[in-house]
Amino acid sequence: MKSRLQISLILPFTLTLALAADDWPQFRGPKRDGVSVEKGLLKAWPKDGPKLYWTFTGAGVGYSGPAIVGNRLYMMGGHGDSEYVFALDVKYSAEKPIWSTKVGPLFTWKGNSWNAGPNATPTVDGEVLYALGGGGDLVCLEIALGKEKWRKSMPRDFAGEVNPIGGGAEEPTPLGWGYAWSPLVDGDQLICVPGGPKGLLAALDKKTGKLLWRSTDVTDQAPYSSPVVAEIGGVRQYVLAVNSGIVGIAAKDGKKLWSYTREPAYDDVVIANAIVHENFVFSTVGFGQGCDMVEVTAQDGSFRIRKAYGNKSIQNKLGGVVLV
């Protein structure tokens, strides 16, 4: 079933929108963990529910989520034969976008009845944002008016591939149900997941799009999950759940620090982000696959991996999990 997006804003607050709210600048929030530290929410909803502030029905098709900074909401959607990223004013008027910029052609595939359009959530970083289309088109835009600064293509520029285990596009390169990870900004680096034989991850100069490194010793195809940044054993790294298990890749140069090889490998789509707490990493996949928790320990300049547990009691298909 293809998803047509509609955005509604309700007010589960003790005050109105004049109340300052925390920013939500990327997929799953400021720390990519699905946790908000915001205060002042109602402990119980009114009998008739919270007040509906506005509804925007022009988002289009896709599975993109919102990024919110200040009074602006940024999101992606497909219209006709193209995909767009757009900005709404959530405080004063959301009847039409402030701006809308084309990202690339609408992602779909022969025989498709499941999805169309973009899957990723935009990432806002200061005065720019990064948005990824379903076909792997990555753009950097100025948030003021949506003007394009630079763009790259995961398949064309980086020979990227998406794991097609659940079906989907296979031409001109395996793209499965389309690219779905959301761009990760870490310092001056923009972390991407092109996937494929030239490297699972790529770090780009966030200002220019210039390639800084590829994780050439980790060549898994891209999953549908997004990378998270972590400090384990004093080493900054990017952690990502993939079909073969979980990997940790050095932030400074893209070298593989450690990997957990799951036996058997996840035999369906990997969508949920990994959760990192101190030196423990948790991953889960739905559709009968289950979950795994591993302990990652720095030892003599390398990392030791110990499986803490694995079972099928916890399975997450789509939305991700939250550590509470």
Q: Please provide the average confidence, as pLDDT, over all residues in the chain.
A: 92
Q: Which of 27, 75, 73, 52 is nearest to 227 (CA)?
A: 27
CB 249 within 8 A of CB 240: yes
Cβ neighbours of residue 33 under 8 Å, at least 6 residues apart?
A: 228, 275, 322, 323
Residue 148 confidence (pLDDT): 98
215 has a pLDDT exceeding 60: yes
User: Of all helices (H) and strands (E), which one includes residue 190?
Assistant: strand 189-192
Q: Which of 118, 109, 116, 115 is nearest to 86 (CA)?
A: 118
Average pLDDT over residues 210-223: 98
| Strands, sheet with 302-311, edge to edge from the N-terminal-most edge strand | 275-277, 280-285, 290-299, 302-311
Residue 2 confidence (pLDDT): 59
User: What counts of helices (H) and strands (E) characterise the chain?
Assistant: 1, 22
CB 259 within 8 A of CB 245: yes
pLDDT digits (tens, 9 = 90+) for 143-160: 999 999 999 999 999 999
171 has a pLDDT exceeding 80: no
The pLDDT-based confidence of 111 (bands split at 50, 70, 90) is: confident
The pLDDT-based confidence of 118 (bands split at 50, 70, 90) is: very high
Q: Cα separation of 211 and 207, whole Å?
A: 11
310 has a pLDDT exceeding 50: yes
**pLDDT > 70: what percent of the chain?**
94
SS3 158: helix
- Report the greatest alpha carbon distance in the chain: 60
Structure token digits, residue 168: 């989907």
pLDDT digits (tens, 9 = 90+) for 37-91: 888 888 898 999 988 888 899 999 999 999 999 999 999 999 999 999 999 999 8
Residue 91 confidence (pLDDT): 87
Residue 169 confidence (pLDDT): 87
- Pick the more confident residue, 78 or 2: 78
The pLDDT-based confidence of 290 (bands split at 50, 70, 90) is: very high
CB 99 within 8 A of CB 105: no
SS3 234: coil
Residue 40 confidence (pLDDT): 85
Residue 16 confidence (pLDDT): 37
Phi, psi of 155 (to 5 degrees): -70, -45
Residue 15 confidence (pLDDT): 33
Q: Which of 220, 236, 216, 218 is nearest to 228 (CA)?
A: 236
Single-letter code of the amino acid located at 113 = S
Residue 5 confidence (pLDDT): 63
Give the N- to C-terminal CA distance of the chain in Å, as an integer. Answer: 32
Which class does domain 4-222 fall in? mainly beta
Average pLDDT over residues 175-199: 97
Q: Cα separation of 152 and 118, whole Å?
A: 16
Residue 18 confidence (pLDDT): 37
The pLDDT-based confidence of 317 (bands split at 50, 70, 90) is: confident
Phi, psi of 156 (to 5 degrees): -80, -45
Residue 8 confidence (pLDDT): 55
- DSSP β-bridge partners for residue 258: 248
pTM metric for this prediction: 0.93
Q: Cα separation of 320 and 274, whole Å?
A: 8
Phi, psi of 68 (to 5 degrees): -125, 125
103 has a pLDDT exceeding 60: yes
Average pLDDT over residues 162-166: 92
Q: What are the boundaries of each domain within the chain? A: 4-222, 227-324
Cβ neighbours of residue 79 under 8 Å, at least 6 residues apart?
A: 60, 61, 106
Average pLDDT over residues 174-182: 96
22 has a pLDDT exceeding 60: yes
